[in-house]
Structure 1
Amino acid sequence: MAVVAARLLLLLAVAGALALPAAGEIKTESFREDPRPSIMFEKFGFSQSGAVRIVVSGAAVSSSFARADPKKLGFFLLSDESLVHAIYESQEGPTPEKRAAAAGGDDPDAAASGCVLSSPYVKKLFTFHDMEGGHYNKSFPVTHPDEYTLFFANCAPQSLVTMRVRTEMYNVNADGSKDYLPVGQAPVPAIYGFFAFCYAAFLASWGYLTLSRDRISAHQIHHLMSGLLVARLLYCLSAAEDQHYIRVTGTPHGWDVAFYLFQLVKGVILFAVIALVGTGWSFLKPVLQDREKKVLMAVIPLQVTANIAAAVIGETGPFLQGWVTWNQILLFVDVACCCAVLFPVVWSIRSLRETSKTDGKAARNLSKLTLFRQFYVVVIGYLYFTRIVVYALKTIASYKYRWVSILAEEVATMAFYLFMFYTFRPAEESKYFSLDDDEEEAAEMVLRVEEFEL
């Protein structure tokens, strides 16, 4: 049984590592003949005045092996630090002193079976033995500030669980009101609100540039870029409102629908803009080649699918069966989209390099080549930062500073937008690549050197 307990704890470790900090909203979920040995509900950062409320109704257990011991099914809280100790204990085996202490507790049978509920490193809340008629309703104070994950454990062999569970995790403010946002996400509504204001100012400046001052020089791609700014503005605004209402009431009041909608729109438009800018569409060439169209036909459906799946996962939570698998699939889809949008930039760089050898406009082509190389490097840096570095910040940062990863992502996104919009802003052809005779001769020498090196 010690091996079973070790595997269970390792499973909890994997699930906890993949789980992002929950919004802390009130959630209700039903389970029918669920065979899983563990179910993860929420991850929440508590202050010294935190609490967990669990309402269970219609609880029932069926087993083909024997009558399930109700003391082997229950709910518990587990911090990340305690999880490491619990895994180590399950692999090494408890000391005689710990075995004696566990056997002398309120559940010696669970201790003897190696059930996770008997571990001294978990905060057991209650078991099915404490229920009356399959119902339970109680709040549990959390006085030690830390980030905890709420789990349900089923240590009864070959047993199926049916129940309806309503969970609330919150901190209590000084005035007695409830704050349903984790400690580490307290500044998040203000962060999104600030960037919503920034994108509004950005959009106003860009609109003046494309619709007024340089309206004649604006191309179709510039209008699509305007749409990207609108989508990003609405995304930040809906995210701020979503987090605000969750903090106050525990539910998003419909703002989650707007949040997921604009998350989908801004994701699709962003990848489309990167791919189209990378091809030089509308400001260097009027049409797309077949291979470039295929990239867009692949990226856009993938982004739509990934965002719909992300909305489903976000609205259900880690207690969804196959939750870990879905997260792995979404990660793969996101990486695939990131790789796909780089191909048009690479193709443009190769095409400009080949053209520079034949058309006699060395300086103009060198300017374009340099421009697209810079864009390629910046896109790589942006995608790497928002996919790898931001995730690392979420993982390694203290639970009190989880908001730092959101701030870092928004700052990086704003910096990337500023670079892309400034570099490919509306301008007359002469302003883009106009060079004098001396620069033309210097560019020809550079291209000859590049050709020799290749």
Structure 2
Amino acid sequence: MAVAAARALLLILAVAGALLSPAAAEIKQESFKDDSRSSILFEKFGFSHHGSVYISVTGAKASSTLAKPDLAQLGFFLLSDEALFEAIYEQQPPTDLNPNPESAPGCVLSSPYVTPLFTFAELDGDSHYNKTFPITHPDEYSLFFANCAPQTSVSMEVRTIMYNTNPDGTKDYLSVGQAPVPAIYAFFAVCYVVFLVGWLYVTLYRNRLSAHRIHHLMTGLLVARMLYCISAAEDQHYIRTAGSPHGWDVMFYLFQLVKGVILFAVIALIGTGWSFLKPFLQDKEKKVLMVVIPLQVAANIAAAVVGETGPFLEGWVTWNQIFLLVDVACCCAVLFPVVWSMRTLRESSKTDGKAARTLAKLTLFRQFYVVVIGYLYFTRIIVYALKTITNYKYRWVSVAAEEVATMAFYMFMFYMFRPAERNQYFALDDDEEEAAELALREEEFEL
């Protein structure tokens, strides 16, 4: 019963596979030694009408602490999204509501809901097997290895290739839903180039005397984001055409790390008023940066492990939990400086002689706080939901939505905190000053 429950649990990983970062290549070579897992999820891929799966197994060996294992209970199979939940339900052990022992699950390889490919019984005399399997029904499939033999461990080397065939006969190694992703990243790379040129014109030419250190850090953020999009476009392009990123995955993870660290640092520094309201950081603000930056580094290491390996890694689920945990921790930590600045400005507005300007700064921080919350919520929750609910053919929508949201957030942040001639934030004329003072009195009256 415990074994059956474990099999059902591992089948559920097929659902999670669609919600995580895409792997770094669709041509994979992996080795397993004395692996006793009952199910191993290799990859999840969206196939068209002309899709294929190539599997090559060498050095396959099965050993058991009991009798000689039945090789027919060790093999590979495909599981479609359509049949996923039926297969999971079938693998559930008997319960109090359904105590009939006859309903206990057998080997998943014999399930009518899966597409069996081959078993170890079909290996040749050298424990080798290789074959290309055409996909007859287009869908998103998960490739599994099943070990239904009790107390049996397996050693083998496996090479898998998943691809769709284009009308001209060439192979497309990107899943159907990921095919537009290289073009999406390339488009936004061009957008960030234009954005960067415009920002440099504002900061270095028109308002260079009003530029502060934070503006130069924001320039670095734009450069990092631009390079991230370029490396992501090249990474996905080479995977699509050759099945391997040809080294662009290293650049991708590097710029992913850099842009993540700089983004959270910029949000935290703007939230503290650094370089705007004061040229120094307090101890508690330094602690926020000391927490956020290492967490971002840890999150990107976890993302690299997930992207470079895959669900067949034994610690795959743990690494994803680490990635999720540190990402949420960064999002929470980076909001503290904004809240502290809003509290400080609210207190100073009651005693400051130029309360109108303090009120305007407070309003600015309120807007920034709301937009940061919205951006983090959208990119962590809504984008995740899009990956979950959209059809496998439209998985690129979540990538496009995240990039659009990021561009909109950057444009807002860079506009609100752009260099200004009269002061760090804004310029108020006499009429605006009087209107701000009136708004302050009304706010105090409401409080």
Verify same fold: TM over 0.5.
Answer: yes
| Counterparts of 2:54 and 2:423, CA distance in 1 | 67
Work out whether 1:362 is the aligned partner of 2:361.
Answer: no
CA shift for structure 1 position 89: 3.2
Alignment RMSD (CA, Å): 1.9
CA shift for structure 1 position 381: 0.3
Q: 1:267 aligns with which of 256, 260, 267?
A: 260
Work out whether 1:324 is the aligned partner of 2:325.
Answer: no
| Counterparts of 2:440 and 2:209, CA distance in 1 | 33
| Counterparts of 1:448 and 1:346, CA distance in 2 | 22
Could you tell me which amino acid in structure 1 is paired with residue 120 of structure 2?
A: F
Aligned to 2:172: 179
| Counterparts of 2:93 and 2:304, CA distance in 1 | 41
424-433 vs 15-24, greater mean Cα deviation: 15-24
Residue 363 of structure 1 contacts residue 435 of structure 1 at CA under 8 Å; is this kept in 2?
Answer: no
| Counterparts of 1:220 and 1:260, CA distance in 2 | 27
1:35-184 correspondence to structure 2 within 5 Å: 35-91=36-92, 114-132=106-124, 133-184=126-177
Residue 271 of structure 2 contacts residue 341 of structure 2 at CA under 8 Å; is this kept in 1?
Answer: yes
The 1:356/1:7 distance shift into structure 2, 3 A limit, reads same
Residue segments in structure 2 that go unaligned for 5+ positions in a row: 95-102
Residue 362 of structure 1 contacts residue 440 of structure 1 at CA under 8 Å; is this kept in 2?
Answer: no
| Counterparts of 1:208 and 1:445, CA distance in 2 | 36
CA shift for structure 1 position 285: 1.1
264-273 vs 278-287, greater mean Cα deviation: 278-287
Could you tell me which amino acid in structure 2 is paired with residue 114 of structure 1?
A: G
| Counterparts of 1:305 and 1:84, CA distance in 2 | 34
1:286-435 correspondence to structure 2 within 5 Å: 286-430=279-423, 432-435=425-428
Aligned to 1:8: 7
Residue 23 of structure 1 contacts residue 180 of structure 1 at CA under 8 Å; is this kept in 2?
Answer: no
Could you tell me which amino acid in structure 2 is paired with residue 341 of structure 1?
A: V
CA shift for structure 1 position 81: 1.7
Q: Secondary structure at the match of 1:66?
A: coil
Query: Which of the two has greater helix per residue?
Result: 1
| Counterparts of 1:92 and 1:328, CA distance in 2 | 26
Q: Secondary structure at the match of 1:149?
A: strand
Residue 24 of structure 1 contacts residue 168 of structure 1 at CA under 8 Å; is this kept in 2?
Answer: no
Deviations 1:304-358 (A, max 9, x none): 1111221122111111112111101110100000000000000000000001011
Aligned to 2:100: none
Deviations 1:205-239 (A, max 9, x none): 10111111111100000000000010011110011
CA shift for structure 1 position 8: 1.4
| Counterparts of 1:130 and 1:61, CA distance in 2 | 14
Q: Secondary structure at the match of 1:145?
A: coil
Deviations 1:129-186 (A, max 9, x none): 1111221111100010000010111111111111111110000111211110011111
| Counterparts of 1:29 and 1:157, CA distance in 2 | 23
Deviations 1:239-298 (A, max 9, x none): 111111111110111111111110010000000011111111112211111111100011
Could you tell me which amino acid in structure 1 is paired with residue 228 of structure 2?
A: Y
Aligned to 2:30: 29
TM-score (norm: length of structure 1): 0.92
61-70 vs 379-388, greater mean Cα deviation: 61-70
Residue 24 of structure 1 contacts residue 42 of structure 1 at CA under 8 Å; is this kept in 2?
Answer: no
Could you tell me which amino acid in structure 1 is paired with residue 65 of structure 2?
A: S
The 1:379/1:431 distance shift into structure 2, 3 A limit, reads closer
Residue 24 of structure 1 contacts residue 182 of structure 1 at CA under 8 Å; is this kept in 2?
Answer: no
TM-score (norm: length of structure 2): 0.94
| Counterparts of 1:431 and 1:16, CA distance in 2 | 49
Could you tell me which amino acid in structure 1 is paired with residue 88 of structure 2?
A: I
CA shift for structure 1 position 450: 3.3
1:278-289 correspondence to structure 2 within 5 Å: 278-289=271-282
CA shift for structure 1 position 85: 1.4
